[in-house]
Amino acid sequence: MTASSRTTMALNQVEGKAGVGLVPVVRHEFCAHDGMELILSKVEAWSWGNYTVTDGVGNFLITVEGRLSLRWTRTLLDSSGTRILKIHKKFMNPSIFDAFIDGEDGARRVFTVQSSLEAPASRFSLKVFLPVKGSEPDLSMDPDFKLEGAYFQNDYGIDCGERSIAQASRKPDASSFVLGCGAYTVTVFPGVDHVFVVALVLIMDELHLEASVGHDSTCLMIFQLQAKAMGFDQDSGKAVAALPVVGAQFCDFQAVNLTLSSAGVFSCGKYTVRDEKQNDVFAVDGNCGCGRQRRVMDSSGKVLLVLQKEAFSFQNKWKAYLDEDKLLFTAKKPCFRLKFCVDVYLGENTTPDFKLTGCCFKGKYSLRRTDTGELIAKARYKWKLASIARCHSYSIEIEPGVDSLFVVSMFLVMNEIYLDKPAAGGGGG
């Protein structure tokens, strides 16, 4: 069976007004007989997956929620906040995306997207496959839909066989020159599912952002020039693009100075993190025992990251989770190292991505990338009388663009490792 015949059977079961064949990929109610003009906009430059969709008069129709994590997801909500679509990127194959809706028997796949994006400036296509009788589609067959275009030419088209169903164009305003910014004008033709169209344009934009950050020197140069125009050097622009480990909302163009302080050995893991003006930035609480846990929260008490010590391990090992089942990184102190060292592994990586080193007698520590050796943060132990009761405090200097939550978590883990040493003086002992 060809793709065109599969698509005809799956979609054209309903005739719309004036004989317009509906294309209800997600739901029939998302197909407007007269077509639609939409605006897809990024909430802010580094909102990392958060978008809004408005109609021609500015009414909010769809909100897109996302975050940076090892499990890439984007959730589309209607104007009332009800989830209408959830998109997952396959963990082992980042060129494949699956979209699901909530059904009576749980989540149901409605389409699968395969990307052929190789370089952001070149032409590329998204191939879209519909499931056949609920099973995973065969990606070796011809696609049911295709999105084609080139990012720097600003125009894209979505086709169903020989039929054009939507067009999108990137609005060439000033915000388009900041990596991750910009908006799209989306024209949805009569009878076509506008949620489906928005999802494809969203995936295309996210793919371009990821590829630009990781590979494309032209886009990175544009971002660096923008940072320089705002008073920052090129290295800061590069760091912002490269190091949002937990989330881009924790990255700042400028260097950040924080103070991490523990409440003492009997506080069961309570810490405070304050900026130079003594404003609370993060707070930490936890429990004691072999299954030690530390929860890093924002100033309002919302849990951002959970650090869990692995019980009965030969190595002093900590794991960081965004949610209960979403591992972000693992930090462990090797057993047979003469110098103090903590290796950091992102996700399930088997080689360290970052390395924290230092000397407890000097009270100075550094956190570096292992691939380039680049310094991303350093800390200095603040000697004071309260150190006798293990009320430890560190001055932390974070390089421009580096994830402050990740850095704070690493120096917190470092202090916890010191507390495990018999009669240790903490970070300064």
Residue 296 has pLDDT above 70, yes or no: yes
pLDDT at 216: 37
> 243 with 251: CB under 8 angstroms?
yes
Average pLDDT, the chain: 77
Burial call 310-327: b when 16+ CB within 10 Å, e when fewer: beeeeebbbbbbbeeeeb
Domain membership of residue 230 (yes or no) is no
Q: Among 184, 214, 244, where does a domain finish?
A: 214
Look up the CATH number of the domain holding residue 35. Answer: 2.40.160.200
**pLDDT surpasses 70 at 1:** no
Answer yes or no: is pLDDT of 408 > 70.
Answer: yes
Instruction: Provide the pLDDT for residue 160.
Output: 92
Decide if 7 is inside a domain.
yes
Q: Which residues, at least 6 apart from 174, have a Cβ–Cβ distance to it below 8 Å?
A: none
Indicate left, alpha or beta for 25 from its phi (over 0: left) and psi (-120 to 50: alpha). Answer: alpha
Q: Tell whether 169 and 317 lie within a shared domain.
A: no
As a whole number, mean pLDDT of residues 311-316 equals: 68
Residues 244, 202 within the same domain: no
Compute the distance between CA of residue 342 and CA of residue 337 in angstroms, rounded to an integer. Answer: 10
Indicate if 356 and 269 belong to the same structural domain: yes
Distance CA 107, CA 127 (A): 22
- The pLDDT assigned to 368 comes to 93
pLDDT higher than 60, residue 326? yes
Q: Clarify whether residues 35 and 65 are in a common domain.
A: yes
**Read out DSSP for 251-302?**
--SS-EEEEEEE--TTSSS-EEEE-TT--EEEEEEE--STT-EEEEEETTS-
Boundary-marking domain end, from 183, 214, 245: 214
Percent of the chain at pLDDT exceeding 70: 69
More confident residue, 14 or 252: 252
Whether 267 and 308 share a structural domain = yes
What pLDDT score was predicted for residue 3? Answer: 52
State how far the Cα of 320 lies from the Cα of 377, in Å rounded to an integer. 19
What span, in angstroms and rounded, lies between the C-alpha atoms of 209 and 187? 22
Note the pLDDT of residue 45.
52
Quickly state the pLDDT bin for 208 (edges 50, 70, 90): confident
Q: What percent of the chain is modeled with pLDDT above 90? A: 33
pLDDT-based confidence at residue 288 (cuts at 50, 70, 90): low
- Same domain for 244 and 169, yes or no, is no
Q: What angle do CA 382, 384, 385 make, to 5 degrees?
A: 160
| pLDDT in the model for residue 302 | 86
Ranking 85-94, 252-261, 287-296, 389-398 by mean pLDDT, the lowest is 287-296
pLDDT of residue 242: 42
Tell whether 32 and 93 lie within a shared domain. Answer: yes
Contact of 90 with 109, CB cutoff 8 Å: no
Q: Are residues 194 and 73 in the same domain?
A: yes
pTM of the model: 0.51
Q: Token pair of 259, please? A: 């103070």
Structure tokens that stand for 73 in this block: 């997801």
- Residue 227 falls within a domain, yes or no? no
Same domain, residue pair 205 and 285: no
Under 8 Å between Cβ of 393 and 261: yes
Q: Is the pLDDT of residue 236 over 50?
A: no
Contact (Cβ atoms closer than 8 angstroms) between residue 403 and residue 250: yes
On whether residue 382 sits in a domain, the answer given is yes
The predicted-structure confidence for 34-87, as pLDDT tens digits, reads as follows 889 999 988 765 556 789 999 988 899 999 998 655 567 899 999 999 999 999
For the record, the structure tokens of 246 come out as 């937990």
Q: Is residue 220 situated within a structural domain?
A: no
The per-residue pLDDT for 334 is: 80
Angular region, 198: left φ>0, alpha ψ -120 to 50, beta rest: alpha
Residue of higher predicted confidence among 353 and 12? 353
Mean per-residue pLDDT for 307-335?
80
Residue 367 pLDDT exceeds 90: yes
Chain centroid to CA 189: 32
Q: Kindly tell me the number of DSSP H helices and DSSP E strands found in the chain.
A: 5, 24
- CA 209 to chain centroid, in Å, comes to 11
Residues 6+ apart with CB under 8 A from 25: 11, 110, 111, 130, 193, 195, 196
pLDDT at residue number 380 = 92
Domain assignment present for 306: yes
SS3 label, residue 413: helix
Residue 222 belongs to some domain of the structure: no
Same domain, 98 and 243: no
Same domain membership, residue 28 and residue 131? yes
Query: Can you tell me the distance from the alpha carbon of 207 to that of 237, in angstroms, rounded to the nearest whole number?
Result: 20
Contact 45, 244 (CB under 8 A): no
Q: How many domains does the chain have?
A: 2
DSSP H or E segment with residue 3: helix 3-11
Average pLDDT over residues 153-181: 73
- Decide if 226 is inside a domain: no
Contact, 237 vs 227, CB < 8 A? Answer: yes
Highest mean pLDDT among 44-48, 170-174, 234-238, 389-393: 389-393
pLDDT confidence bin for 398, thresholds 50/70/90: very high
CA distance 372 to 337: 22
Domain of residue 277, residue span? 236-428
Quick one: tokens of 267? 């506080």
Model confidence pLDDT, tens digit, residues 170-193: 875 444 444 455 689 999 999 999
pLDDT value of residue 248? 66
| Residue entry with tokens 């912002």 | 240
Which pLDDT does position 382 carry in this prediction?
A: 82
| More confident of the two residues 154 and 257 | 257
Asked whether residue 291 falls in the same domain as residue 401, the answer is yes
